[in-house]
Structures are given as structure tokens and as C-alpha cells.
Amino acid sequence: MLHAQVHLTLPVWIHDAVDCDRAYTSDSDKVVIGREVRLRQVDNLEQAQDCHLVFVSGSEERRMGLILRGLAGRGVLTVSDIEGFAEGGGGIGLVTEDDRVRFDINQASLVREGLRASSQLLRLGRQVLGMERVRITDLWQEEDGLRVGEVEPLPPWQSGRLKADQHTLAKALQDVFNDYPEYAALYPEPDWDDASWVAQRWLEVLPIPVEQKQWLVAAKDNQPALSLLSGLLVASH
């Protein structure tokens, strides 16, 4: 189930005017800070196209990748309490720690949607995900609890043709495109023969543990991902 928040210039709790130490518990509070909020429940991506914020419920975990790709490029802030939501490409992932709700921010996702998180919000986040593949070379924690690190960029995967025994991966991905035209529309010129392109598209939609997906994305080339994908495809038949 998708829950959409519409007629909202920016989510009230991401706006600089919000007092992060105050709990806004009622509709009247939302009016006070100058934003009209309307909530509605939607059943498909088309109904969510004119929304500013979409909350993805836990029941949609297996379709999370497809939902995110379907909403990409539409200026929508995506929020969810699904485990690993931000790491999987969502905008903000809600996390419960020690009976407190905290959040992770995917900075790359916000930038792609033309959204900006204030510096105050970034400091409050449990973790902030970057905009490219990097390797952490140094990491420390400041007195206020903010984690700071130094990184070096990792090169993108090199392009290359699929091997003869890997073409079934492209064929299965074409079936996904046919079943989800809103996802296919994001890639008007698919490169079905490029091994890295096919592997990256599968990693966007494949419901595998976040830790495993992160390990695959951080690999120096596409071979670990292709090996896993080939094994999963064989096991499914």
C-alpha cells in the first residue's frame, strides 16, 4: 500500500522553519507552520504521480525497487520504515533504535528529485548516504555525535557484452520491463547486451538483503553480481 501526501511544497518536517525539538502532533500544528497537508491512500503509481511525498508501507517491500524507479524523476520524496529503504534508493528511511524513531537520508536520491535537505536535518540523520561509489579511508565521531569520514571515489563498472550463458538474464529483465511499463519508461534506450547495465537494473529491483546488495554494488566489477543473478535465475527454474 502506498500512502501519498499531496499539495505540500516541502514536507513540513524537512523544512528549515520546523523546530526539530518540538513534536507536531495535530493538524492544527501543521496549519500553524504554514503548509496545507492532505493525505490520501493510493493503490498504484499512476495515482501517486501528483504527490510531493509518498510513504511506502511494509507490505510493498518486495516491490520497493519497482516503486522507487516508477517515481524517479518526478520530484517525489519517498519515505518508508522498510528495513534498508534509504540504502535501496529511497529518500528517507525510518529506523527504530532504543524505542526512538530515527532516520537515514539518501542524499543522492534527494538531489535527483530536485529536493534539498537542510544542514540541520542532515546532522540529525542517523546516517547520510552519498552520491557515488566511494571507499571510506578514515572515520571518526565528533563531540556532538556526528560521524565524519574521508573517502576516495571508486571507478564505475566497465561496460562489456554479456556472455552467451548470461543472455537469459537480459531476457528475464525484458519480461520485468513488459510487466511494469512504468519502470521500463525510465529507460527508453535499454542496452540488453551490456553486462553492467543489465546487472545494475537487476540490483535495483531484486529483493535481496541490503547488506548483500551493498557488497555487490561495492565490488570492483560486475562479476559478483552477474554470478549471483545467474545462480538465482537457475534456482528459480
> What's the pLDDT band for 189 if we cut at 50, 70, 90?
confident
Q: Considering only residues 3 and 109, tell me which one the structure prediction assigns the higher pLDDT.
A: 109
Express each pLDDT in 26-84 by its tens digit: 544 444 345 566 777 887 888 887 888 899 998 888 888 888 888 888 889 999 999 88
Q: Of 198, 199, 226, 186, which is closest to residue 66 (Cα–Cα)?
A: 186
Q: Helix 223-235 to helix 167-179 angle, to the nearest 10 degrees?
A: 70
**pLDDT computed for residue 227 by the predictor:** 94
- The CATH code belonging to domain 2-130 is 3.40.50
For residue 94, is pLDDT > 90?
Answer: yes
Counting other chains too, the contacts that 98-105 makes at CB distance below 8 Å and 24 or more residues apart are 102/126, 104/128, 104/129, 105/129
**pLDDT computed for residue 33 by the predictor:** 47
161 forms beta bridges with 194
Mean pLDDT for the stretch of residues 138-160: 81
Rg of the chain in Å (alpha carbons):
19
Of 4-18, 84-98, 182-196, 220-234, least confident by mean pLDDT is: 4-18
**pLDDT computed for residue 221 by the predictor:** 92
Query: What DSSP character marks residue 224?
Result: H
For residue 11, is pLDDT > 50?
Answer: no
Q: Tell me if residue 16 falls in helix, strand or coil.
A: coil
Options 1.10.3720.10, 3.40.50.300, 1.10.4060.10, 3.90.1150.10; which CATH number does 164-235 get? 1.10.4060.10
19/36 Cα distance (integer angstroms): 17
For residue 211, is pLDDT > 50?
Answer: yes
Express each pLDDT in 158-185 by its tens digit: 889 999 999 999 999 999 999 988 778 7
Q: What is the DSSP string of 147-176?
A: EEEEEEEPPPPPP-BPPGGGHHHHHHHHHH
Highest-scoring range by mean pLDDT, 43-47, 83-87, 124-128: 83-87
Q: Where in the sequence of the chain do the CATH 1.10.4060.10 domains occur?
A: 164-235
Mean pLDDT, the chain, rounded, equals 79
Beta strands in 98-156 (DSSP E): 100-106, 127-129, 134-141, 147-153
**pLDDT computed for residue 9 by the predictor:** 35
Q: What is the DSSP string of 18-55?
A: S-TTS---SHHHHHHTT---EEEEESSGGGGTT-SEEE
Q: Where in the sequence of the chain do the CATH 3.40.50 domains occur?
A: 2-130
Express each pLDDT in 100-117 by its tens digit: 889 999 988 888 888 888
Pairing, β 77-80 against β 53-56? parallel
